[in-house]
Amino acid sequence: MLPVPENCFVPISEIISVEETELNKKQRNIGKWQKMTKLHAFTVYYVKKARNHRWRCSDVTFWCVDEHLCNQWIQALKELLEMQKSRPKQLLVYINPYGGKRQGKRIYEQKVAPLFSLASISTDVVITEHANHAKDNLFEVNIYKYDGVVCVGGDGMFSEVMHGLIGRIQKDSGIDQNNPKASLVQCNIRIGIIPAGSTDCICYSTVGISDPVTSALHIIVGDCQPLDVSSVHHNNMFLKYSVSLLGYGFYGDILKDSEKKRWMGPMRYDYSGFKTFLSHHYYEGTIAYQPAKHTLGSPRDKDSCRTGCYICKKSEQQLAEQHKDCGLKHEEGEEEWKVIKGKFLAINAVNMSCACPRSPKGLSPAAHLADGSADLILVRKCSRFDFLRYLVRHTNQDDQFDFPFVDVYRVKSFQFTSKLSEDNESNVMDIGKKRFGQFCRDHPACCCNIVNSTWNCDGETLDSSAIEVRVHCQLMKLFARGIEENCKDEAAYSQNSAEQLL
């Protein structure tokens, strides 16, 4: 630990870099000392923790009359930093110049690149030219020479990079992603997210804030946060992976409408959200799910997943044991399935809380980042007013699951079939219904929708409404540490950059 002014201690793991200080830069501040003798100095750049999980780079300069002693300090601190083996040295960076408010390139160049250079991290930077550029590129480059991949953009950009990395690892390991029962190979190359998107839910839910400098610092110090990933299949065909929201009904309809309004930037979600709220469509279907019995928590818990979460640790241990005796692994297919039929305004499956600036506690506040389960939230048909009450509770402290029309289950896998595709499959589809388009012919004002909704998979639409979903515990890792418990003594962190005499 290194003492900095006013009883503030910085763990070595949170030092960014140590550099010899050029005297002419700081001379003015120490004129008095300089008259007496020639001084030597070094500067320690470190993580300063501010309010609301925000991190900043701060520095403290140590002055010394003895050049040898000064060099010894620099050497010793550099050696300690060298010993931090989890820190990345070489990163592959993808920037989406069109995500969010189209600020990705500027954010990276002005806020992130200077910090990477300060921390002696070398980078290969790719500015994407089209959708799927990053994903395709990850199948071509030598990913194994990098300590991590950074994406500058939103949840969609993260999803691309994740698909590229997970897909590449499965390909290199001879695993067929189309097999819904395949044991996928864990991806140990960490992904860093520099938020520059419209929702930035994955960044917010894993760091506690959507802030490019904070995320860059988590990458520099080499944080590691495992993450559950759901695989989504349709008829033995791989569709997509999901880490945040898989939403049918409300969030699917918002996404579908908002894609046409990309030019509006992040505002498109509010516009389409309002429109979708007014349309108040519900969808009929059947959900079958397997409860997650292995995990200790429940979606109604008061405590949330935080840094070093013991529930996620327990799942990690179980996973390690499973890998040890994989021959004896219990067959998932044999475990019980529960079936629910109904009319739903929204079906949301979340692998994490899905906290974001719009909803700081998220869609499921007690969901865990790495426990091998997802929270399945079913919002049944209800009045517009009740649905609004439900939505408003995402923005305040009230319990959004405390409604008779909302159910929530912790699951390890689930399947969904819409009534429409069930009818189609059993060939009882009325041709007349097809012709008369979108609304129920019998009850034009009832809001029941005879077309399917769309699945919103981490901000991307899926082509199929019938899906099979399975949660893969800790399939990948992020440069993050989960959300830290609020520091009580925040005043101790409010010290500005300082200077210190040895």
Ligand X SMILES: Nc1ncnc2c1ncn2[C@@H]1O[C@H](COP(=O)(O)OP(=O)(O)OP(=O)(O)O)[C@@H](O)[C@H]1O
Ligand Y SMILES: CCCCCCCCCCCCC/C=C/[C@@H](O)[C@H](CO)NC(=O)CCCCCCCCCCCCCCC
Footprint of ligand Y on this chain (CB under 6 A)? 154-155, 199, 201, 244-245, 251, 254-255, 269-270, 273-274, 277, 354, 356, 358-359, 363, 388, 391-392, 394-395, 456, 458-459
The Cα–Cα gap between 341 and 53 comes to: 41
**Token pair for 314:** 């327990």
In whole angstroms, how large is the CA radius of gyration of the chain?
25
Tokens 């991190």 sit at which residue?
55
The smaller minimum CB distance to ligand X, of residues 154 and 365, is found at 154
Which of the choices ligand X, Ca ion, ligand Y, none does residue 100 contact, using the CB cut-off of 5 to 8 A by kind?
A: ligand X
Which of the choices ligand Y, Ca ion, ligand X, none does residue 98 contact, using the CB cut-off of 5 to 8 A by kind?
A: ligand X
**Contact call for residues 108 and 96 (beta carbons, < 8 A):** no
Minimum CB–partner distance for residue 28 and ligand Y (Å)? 48
Minimum CB–partner distance for residue 255 and ligand Y (Å)? 5
- DSSP string for 333-372: GGS--EEEEEEEEEEEEESS---BTTBTT-SSTT--SSSS
Which of the choices Ca ion, ligand Y, ligand X, none does residue 463 contact, using the CB cut-off of 5 to 8 A by kind?
A: none
Which of the choices ligand Y, Ca ion, ligand X, none does residue 251 contact, using the CB cut-off of 5 to 8 A by kind?
A: ligand Y
How many CA atoms lie within 13 Å of 5's alpha carbon, on the beta-carbon side?
13
Pairing of strands 283-291, 406-418: antiparallel
Which of the choices ligand X, ligand Y, Ca ion, none does residue 153 contact, using the CB cut-off of 5 to 8 A by kind?
A: ligand X
3-state secondary structure of 350: strand
Minimum CB–partner distance for residue 363 and ligand X (Å)? 15
The smaller minimum CB distance to ligand Y, of residues 361 and 477, is found at 361
Picking from 156, 217, 221, 226, the residue whose alpha carbon sits closest to that of residue 191 is: 226
The smaller minimum CB distance to ligand Y, of residues 258 and 315, is found at 258
Q: In this chain, which residue has its C-beta nearest to ligand Y?
A: 459
The Cα–Cα gap between 464 and 285 comes to: 14
Which of the choices ligand X, Ca ion, ligand Y, none does residue 96 contact, using the CB cut-off of 5 to 8 A by kind?
A: ligand X
Verify whether residue 442 is a known catalytic residue. Answer: no
Total residues belonging to the chain: 502
Instruction: Give the start-end residues of each E strand in 267-323.
Output: 283-291
The smaller minimum CB distance to ligand X, of residues 204 and 390, is found at 204
The smaller minimum CB distance to ligand X, of residues 3 and 265, is found at 265
Minimum CB–partner distance for residue 154 and ligand Y (Å)? 6
Catalytic choice (155, 200, 211, 228)? 155
Minimum CB–partner distance for residue 211 and ligand X (Å)? 14
Cβ-Cβ contacts under 8 Å for 446 (sequence gap 6 or more):
440
The smaller minimum CB distance to ligand Y, of residues 88 and 252, is found at 252
Minimum CB–partner distance for residue 388 and ligand X (Å)? 23
**Token pair for 299:** 């979606």
**Contact call for residues 472 and 229 (beta carbons, < 8 A):** yes
The smaller minimum CB distance to ligand X, of residues 418 and 456, is found at 456
3-state secondary structure of 355: coil
Residues that bind ligand X (CB under 6 A): 96-100, 128-133, 153-157, 160, 197-200, 459
Minimum CB–partner distance for residue 132 and ligand X (Å)? 6
Which of the choices ligand X, ligand Y, Ca ion, none does residue 228 contact, using the CB cut-off of 5 to 8 A by kind?
A: Ca ion
Picking from 403, 388, 393, 291, the residue whose alpha carbon sits closest to that of residue 337 is: 291
Residues that bind Ca ion (CB under 5 A): 228, 351, 368, 371
The end-to-end CA distance of the chain, in Å, is 15
The Cα–Cα gap between 388 and 485 comes to: 31
Picking from 13, 450, 465, the residue whose alpha carbon sits closest to that of residue 223 is: 13
Q: In this chain, which residue has its C-beta nearest to ligand X?
A: 154
Q: How many CB atoms lie within 10 A of CB 113?
A: 16
Give catalytic residue positions.
Answer: 155
